[in-house]
Structure 1
Amino acid sequence: MGEFRLHAISIDEVRDIFGAEDDLAERLRGCARAGFSVPSPRRRGLWSRLVPLTRTDPDAPVLPPGFPTPGDVEDLLAGRYVPPEHLSRCWRVLDLWLAELAWGTTSLSLGPDEIDDLEFDLARAGLPAELSLRRLLAGDPQIPLRPAPDMRTGYSRSSHVAATHEALSTVAGRVDERHTGLVEQLVDFLARFCEWSEEAPGAGRPAPDLLVVWHASPATLA
């Protein structure tokens, strides 16, 4: 089963991760240490330093296959090119950071067939085509990290999010009961953008946009 993962965060804040200033970089390093720590062979703790791991170091933690490395963290923070074989694990890091920085995050379990089925049901209920689920991915995030295999990324500005929320709220009562829970979850999440946008100036932050990451395999960001 695939997944639609939605993050309420300004697209400018997303782009600022790549080439992050010192304070933000340190915060994100700490988040990565906490989120991807593994025991060392001597059980002396977790990812104590962000340094390259080598097999010749007997104290280096043994990372599971596909596990992000300190080098991946530094490549992301510097905005460097990520080779294809590192894309999935770098997206795991970025997804963790997005959840840390976002005003809110939610996910919908949807594979390709389920998306088509839900889109058809919403259209039949009266949702305009320009406000479909796929239109939430219409904007190009323009970040250095390319999508991993079987992944799509995109974003919507807050004005489009508001229009989508209004339209979904109107048709939510007319969708098939198989989709009622998903639609209600999405409507409830999008409803909070108004609240977050009002709070943003007081927090010294821009109003949130909607960043969407869809991936076909649940293992991609697991």
Structure 2
Amino acid sequence: MADLRLYAIGIDEVRRMYGADDDSEPVFRDILATAFAPPAPPKAPGLLGKIGPLFKRDPYAPVVNPSNPTPEDVDAFLDGESIDPDRVPAAWRILETLVHGRAWGSIRLPMTPQQVDDVDFALARGGVSAAVGLRHLFQSATEINLVPAQGLRVGWHDNGRALAMADAYRSALTEIDTTEQQEMIAGLVTWMDGFPHWAEVAREQHRAVPDLVGFWVS
């Protein structure tokens, strides 16, 4: 299913995740160790269950999804090493996992490209500029130093534009026709209303104020 995931986090923090510095690496490793902990091996069956032909592979070993990041993927990512082409999807999974772990807030919207266009059209009818539309979010280059992954779009708006989005979407709510779109946009506005508070906390913790960063699998 198409999935749009938005995060409140400074884009410069995101850019520095690949090839992490010494201060950040332990924090990142803790996040990734929790997210990608290997599953517990199943208990081996009793003696009768072991009778049969010999296996080249341990039949009781856990099955690992080949797209899941491996410890080698994590090391290569955090060290800023070159990523093998077949491991690019895993590298982006690592990045988004770190973004999720360090973000001040996040929201997930199941949306196909057609649904995004429909929402943007409804917002435009309510007077919202295309410059703060959902699709336009993914036209801003993130300058993240990773090869793009097939089927994944990543974009961002700075903090000021995120605040402008919230105000514009709020003003357009009464012009939205369908209940489904109204509820979705209202939920998004409520979430984006957290940006001023998150910015205050970020400054107190000497972190960058949050920008709006999006990952869209379409």
Which TM-score tier does this pair reach, normalised by the shorter chain?
0.7 to 0.9
Larger radius of gyration: 2
10-19 vs 140-149, which deviates more?
A: 140-149
Q: Is 1:15 matched with 2:15?
A: yes
Corresponding residue for residue 48 of structure 1: none
Corresponding residue for residue 75 of structure 2: 74
Offset at residue 42 of structure 1 (A) = 8.1
8 Å contact 1:40–1:62 — kept in the other structure? no
Q: Deviations over 1:21-69 (max 9, x none)?
A: 22311121122111111236587xxxxxxxxxxx999xx8652231210
Q: Deviations over 1:105-132 (max 9, x none)?
A: 1111101111111111111222112221
8 Å contact 1:3–1:215 — kept in the other structure? yes
Q: Is 1:28 matched with 2:47?
A: no
Output the amino acid matched with 1:15.
R
Residue pairs, 1:46-57, within 5 angstroms: none
Task: Decide whether aligned partners of structure 1 residues 77 and 56 sit closer, same or farther in structure 2, where only a CA change above 3 A counts.
Answer: farther
Corresponding residue for residue 143 of structure 1: 144
Distance in 2 between the 1:39 and 1:180 partners? 40
Distance in 1 between the 2:57 and 2:71 partners? 16
Task: Decide whether aligned partners of structure 1 residues 82 and 202 sit closer, same or farther in structure 2, where only a CA change above 3 A counts.
Answer: same
Output the amino acid matched with 2:3.
E
8 Å contact 2:7–2:104 — kept in the other structure? yes
Matched residue SS, 1:116 = helix
8 Å contact 1:81–1:145 — kept in the other structure? no
Could you tell me the percent identity over the aligned residues? 34
Matched residue SS, 1:146 = coil
Corresponding residue for residue 46 of structure 2: none
Distance in 1 between the 2:157 and 2:20 partners? 23
Corresponding residue for residue 51 of structure 2: none
Q: Deviations over 1:153-192 (max 9, x none)?
A: 1111111111111111100122122211210121111111
TM-score, normalised relative to structure 1: 0.83
Distance in 1 between the 2:80 and 2:142 partners? 14
Residue pairs, 1:205-220, within 5 angstroms: 205-216=207-218
Distance in 1 between the 2:110 and 2:62 partners? 33
Q: Is 1:202 matched with 2:211?
A: no
Q: Which structure 2 residue ranges, 5 or more long, are not aligned?
A: 44-55
Offset at residue 215 of structure 1 (A) = 0.7
8 Å contact 2:18–2:79 — kept in the other structure? yes
Corresponding residue for residue 50 of structure 2: none
Matched residue SS, 2:5 = strand
Q: Which structure 1 residue ranges, 5 or more long, are not aligned?
A: 44-54, 217-222
Distance in 1 between the 2:151 and 2:67 partners? 16
Q: Is 1:6 matched with 2:6?
A: yes
Matched residue SS, 1:23 = coil
8 Å contact 2:18–2:95 — kept in the other structure? no
Residue pairs, 1:110-125, within 5 angstroms: 110-125=111-126
Output the amino acid matched with 2:148.
P
Distance in 2 between the 1:39 and 1:206 partners? 35
8 Å contact 2:6–2:212 — kept in the other structure? yes
Output the amino acid matched with 2:158.
R
Distance in 1 between the 2:39 and 2:101 partners? 23
8 Å contact 1:6–1:105 — kept in the other structure? yes
Task: Decide whether aligned partners of structure 1 residues 113 and 29 sit closer, same or farther in structure 2, where only a CA change above 3 A counts.
Answer: same
Q: How many residues align?
A: 205
TM-score, normalised relative to structure 2: 0.85
